[in-house]
């Protein structure tokens, strides 16, 4: 049996460089009323693509910000009737409003499936490696129907059907993905991730069960006026809630690492096979780093905001309350709005630097491709020029990088 060759995927990007590009983009979104985000998205993608090399050859992104903007403008035509429906429902009775909002939420969830597939189609059609373009075929509406129906089944089964959903959607995406004239295949199924998912599900369900038991026991103790027992169960309920949150985070990281590893390792392109290995503790490290930097950023923003308020004599009297902000007039309102935007931007910007970029770095660092030389015979195909941006993916904010 001939020996298989292995080629490592390399990523040379640095978080500092990405942070600088993001910070500049966030600042430019203020005077452009958010429109610069299409140029920022294009900048981010070129950062990731140009710093990712396979076999010494870098990926290339040929999409433009103008294409994203045009696609977004087309999407507004779809959302205008939905916005009008929300406006109409706000003046109706409680039952009608509730039913209408529920139907609108289901519609948006269905459209998000279409948007995800459509956005992936655009990104692949603007991605080249060795001058050969990727492509995605299949039906975005078909994918949306699959995702929507599977989602309903997942809700009905309290999440137990998720491995079946994941296996089916991964297969649909990759069996309709092409590199030049060669089609991808997917060797995985629901069994690929069933073990890790059900282990995480059982651990989380048991933890939530303990937390609920402590809460119910605490309520019964209060009802029976047994304050000593109530205090004990109250502490148990608090600890159980905190434990449930911690366990939920750990289960999520455990499953995501296993899903990333197993599903990506089931992707094939002819005789070329992808292999990825991402560990849960590596993902945990990225989130801890994000948390520490976020706390530091919020402390700095708090100190800076308080100093600015004092410098402008905003009558805050050392307290940031709604009443004091109102008394401060326009200065207070501007400071409050600026503080809110700065805080929201800190969450988002640092999340992109440490969570999103960290995930890309981990996958790239531990990815190898077997028999890469078999792709030398792939022939190039033309660009799909019918795609005008990502459309709904931008409007629903379900795009990737």
Residue 207 in tokens: 């933890």
Q: Which residues of 337-364 are buried (b: 16+ CB within 10 A; e: fewer)?
A: eebeebbebbeebbebbbebbbbbbbbb
CB 252 within 8 A of CB 355: no
| DSSP type of residue 397 | T
CB 293 within 8 A of CB 304: no
Q: What is the pLDDT of residue 309?
A: 65
- Summarised one tens digit per residue, pLDDT across range 299-334 is 988 888 777 666 665 444 545 555 555 555 555 566
CB 394 within 8 A of CB 45: no
* Distance, CA of 358 to CA of 286 (rounded, Å): 6
Q: Which regions of the chain are under pLDDT 70?
A: 1-3, 90, 214-215, 217-237, 240, 308-336, 399
What CA–CA distances, in Å, run from 174 to 22, 179, 292, 395? Answer: 31, 11, 37, 25
Domain ranges of the chain: 52-154, 157-176+185-266, 268-378
- The SS3 call for residue 291 is helix
Q: What is the pLDDT of residue 84?
A: 78
DSSP per-residue string spanning 154-195: HHHTTTTTHHHHHHHHHHHHHHTEEETTEEEEE---HHHHHH
* Distance, CA of 304 to CA of 158 (rounded, Å): 45
Angle 249-294-112 from CA coordinates, rounded to 5°: 60
CB 183 within 8 A of CB 174: no
What CA–CA distances, in Å, run from 32 to 19, 262, 268? Answer: 20, 42, 43
Q: What is the pLDDT of residue 241?
A: 76
Q: What is the pLDDT of residue 313?
A: 56
Q: Which residues of 21-36 are buried (b: 16+ CB within 10 A; e: fewer)?
A: ebeebbeebeeeeeeb
* Distance, CA of 25 to CA of 34 (rounded, Å): 10
| DSSP type of residue 2 | P
* Distance, CA of 123 to CA of 45 (rounded, Å): 9
């Amino acid at each position: 049996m001939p020996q298989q060759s292995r080629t490592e995927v390399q990523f040379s990007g640095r978080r500092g460089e990405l942070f600088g590009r993001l910070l500049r983009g966030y600042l430019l979104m203020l005077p452009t009323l958010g429109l610069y985000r299409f140029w920022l998205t294009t900048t981010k993608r070129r950062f990731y693509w140009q710093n990712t090399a396979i076999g010494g050859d870098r990926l290339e992104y040929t999409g433009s910000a103008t294409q994203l903007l045009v696609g977004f403008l087309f999407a507004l035509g779809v959302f205008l009737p939905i916005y009008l429906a929300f406006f109409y429902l706000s003046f109706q009775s409680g039952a009608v409003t509730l039913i209408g909002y529920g139907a609108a939420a289901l519609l948006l969830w269905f459209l998000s499936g279409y948007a995800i597939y459509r956005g992936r189609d655009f990104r692949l059609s603007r991605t080249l490696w060795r001058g050969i373009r990727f492509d995605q075929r299949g039906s975005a509406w078909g994918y949306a129907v699959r995702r929507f129906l599977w989602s309903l089944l997942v809700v009905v089964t309290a999440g137990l059907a998720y491995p079946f959903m994941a296996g089916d959607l991964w297969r649909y995406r990759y069996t309709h993905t092409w590199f030049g004239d060669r089609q991808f295949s997917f060797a995985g199924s629901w069994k690929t991730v069933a073990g890790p998912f059900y282990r995480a599900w059982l651990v989380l369900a048991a933890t939530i069960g303990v937390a609920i038991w402590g809460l119910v026991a605490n309520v019964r103790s209060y009802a029976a006026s047994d304050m000593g027992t109530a205090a004990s169960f109250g502490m148990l309920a608090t600890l159980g809630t905190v434990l449930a949150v911690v366990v939920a985070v750990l289960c999520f990281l455990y499953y995501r690492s296993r899903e990333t590893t197993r599903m990506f390792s089931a992707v094939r392109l002819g005789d070329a096979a992808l292999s990825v290995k991402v560990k849960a503790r590596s993902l945990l490290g990225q989130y801890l780093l994000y948390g520490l930097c976020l706390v530091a950023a919020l402390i700095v923003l708090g100190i800076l905001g308080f100093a600015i308020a004092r410098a402008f004599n905003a009558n805050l009297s050392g307290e940031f309350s709604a009443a004091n902000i109102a008394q401060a007039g326009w200065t207070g309102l501007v400071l409050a709005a600026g503080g809110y935007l700065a805080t929201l931007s800190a969450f988002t910007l640092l999340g992109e630097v440490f969570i999103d970029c960290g995930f890309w770095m981990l996958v790239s660092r531990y990815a190898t491709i077997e028999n890469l030389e078999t792709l030398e015979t792939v022939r190039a195909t033309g660009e799909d020029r019918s795609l005008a941006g990502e459309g709904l993916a931008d409007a629903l904010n379900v795009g990737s990088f």
